[in-house]
Amino acid sequence: MATIEIKPTDTEGASNDPRADASITLPDKVEMKKTREGFGRALADLGEQDPRIVVLVGDLSESTMVHWFAEKFPERFIQVGIAEQNMMCIAGGLAAMGKIPFLATYGAFASCRSADQMRVTVAYSNLNVKIGGAHGGISVGPDGATHQAMEEISIVRSIPNMSMVVPCDFWETYKATIAVAKHNGPVYLRFGREDVPVVTQKETPFAFGRGEVFAEGRDLTIIACGVMVYEALRARETLAAQGVSARVVDLHTIKPLDRALIERCARETGAIVTAEEHQVHGGLGGAVAEVVVQRHVVPMELVAVHDRFGQSGKPAELMDAFGLRAKDIVAAAERVLARKPKR
């Protein structure tokens, strides 16, 4: 068993409300559950809480798990069909009329195919549209390169007014969906297709715009998002066996970024490894590096997909093929520690 201490962190613009320290236990065999189920369950609950919630989908009701909302609130559900660009514009119109629209489709279609509509119709007018980018990264597996969106973070975070959250498991996706519904402004929520390890609990702290320290450490910090949070925690166990103390940060909100936490980790541990299921260019690693180079320069290593398209295969096989495992984080940690100045 590995115990991960989760402690509240101070961030720019974060709430000052006191919270008790929480902890979770990561067993050797963890529960597996779909992040997209967290999205669907949260939408069904949101529909009961707020009549302004409207859900749109691009012919993927069960794939994105919005069918639970459709069954409960058919009058607030719109099946647009295979017309993602049109769906983005419809969502913008609904937001302009005071609704809170959630649209759901594959991340490849939400971020790439509909990028112009997201930028001009939604973000330019700062409309309160929530974009559910399902099947993100390589989780769509056998569907191959065309459906494996590994560019969403770089696209979305470069657009003014857009916010972005990449939750790590079922519970965090559920809580993130609830949180973005309360946030005023356009938000992109990225989640996957396959069952992934559940590393948080219902009670685990979550706040939009704030990263969480899942494990303390003094020698380096591993900053991860999405499914790579689990891999980071496993990497920490391996490093601990080698006498290396690694801090693990779940940086679920990519934009707005928890700059204060990143700077604190750089100052306290002196080295950073980022881990993401995304292209290395413009993703989580790039976002963290932008803060590090401006606030407190330390050696960094980036674990990510290195400038290549996806391919067909089982998601677990692709994680191995693209170097997105705990062992790859460990190797990156060894490299960054070799460059870390001696104190």
| CATH number for 184 | 3.40.50.970
What confidence score (pLDDT) does residue 26 get?
63
Say if residue 241 is in the same domain as residue 166: no
| Residue 323, both tokens | 């170097």
Say if residue 193 is in the same domain as residue 208: no
Q: Total domain count for the chain?
A: 2
Say if residue 57 is in the same domain as residue 191: yes
Bridge partners (DSSP) of residue 5 are 23
Say if residue 36 is in the same domain as residue 25: no
Instruction: Name every residue whose Cβ is closer than 8 Å to that of residue 92 and which is 6 or more positions away in sequence.
Output: 117, 121, 122, 125, 127, 129
Residue 140's φ and ψ, nearest 5 degrees, are: -75, -10
Q: Which residues are catalytic?
A: 84
Whether 222 and 329 have beta carbons less than 8 Å apart is answered as yes
Say if residue 166 is in the same domain as residue 252: no
CA 80/CA 202 separation, integer angstroms:
33
Say if residue 170 is in the same domain as residue 207: no
Say if residue 235 is in the same domain as residue 261: yes
Say if residue 65 is in the same domain as residue 170: yes
Q: How many CA atoms lie within 13 A of 185 on its CB side?
A: 14
Q: What percent of the chain has pLDDT over 70?
A: 92
Say if residue 38 is in the same domain as residue 72: yes
CA 193/CA 206 separation, integer angstroms:
22
CA 146/CA 164 separation, integer angstroms:
22
Q: Which of 257, 267, 273 is nearest to 337 (CA)?
A: 273
Band of the pLDDT at 13, cuts 50, 70, 90? very low
Say if residue 206 is in the same domain as residue 177: no
CA 191/CA 135 separation, integer angstroms:
6
SS3 assignment for 212-243: EEEECCCCEEEEECCCHHHHHHHHHHHHHHCC
Query: pLDDT digit string (tens) for 244-289?
Result: 999 999 999 999 999 999 999 999 999 999 999 999 999 999 999 9
Range of lowest pLDDT (92-96, 137-141, 300-304): 137-141
CB burial of 191-213 (b: ≥16 within 10 Å; e: otherwise) equals bbbbebbbbbeeebbbbbbbbbb
Q: Which of 148, 167, 197 is the last residue of a domain?
A: 197
CA 279/CA 96 separation, integer angstroms:
33
| Residue 24, both tokens | 């979770």
Note the pTM of the prediction, 2 decimals. 0.92
| CATH number for 302 | 3.40.50.920
Whether 190 and 152 have beta carbons less than 8 Å apart is answered as yes
Q: Residue 92: left (phi > 0), alpha (psi -120 to 50), or beta?
A: alpha
Range of lowest pLDDT (42-56, 68-82, 129-143, 297-311): 129-143
Q: Is the pLDDT of residue 23 over 90?
A: no
Say if residue 209 is in the same domain as residue 242: yes
Q: Which of 63, 60, 96, 101 is nearest to 79 (CA)?
A: 60
Band of the pLDDT at 29, cuts 50, 70, 90? confident
CA 144/CA 135 separation, integer angstroms:
12
Residue whose pair of structure tokens reads 């973070």 in the numeric block: 153
Say if residue 110 is in the same domain as residue 78: yes
Q: Which of 197, 232, 250 is the last residue of a domain?
A: 197
Q: Domain limits at 62? A: 32-197
Q: Tell me what the pLDDT averaged over the chain comes to.
A: 91
Q: Which of 197, 230, 245 is the last residue of a domain?
A: 197
CA 182/CA 199 separation, integer angstroms:
24
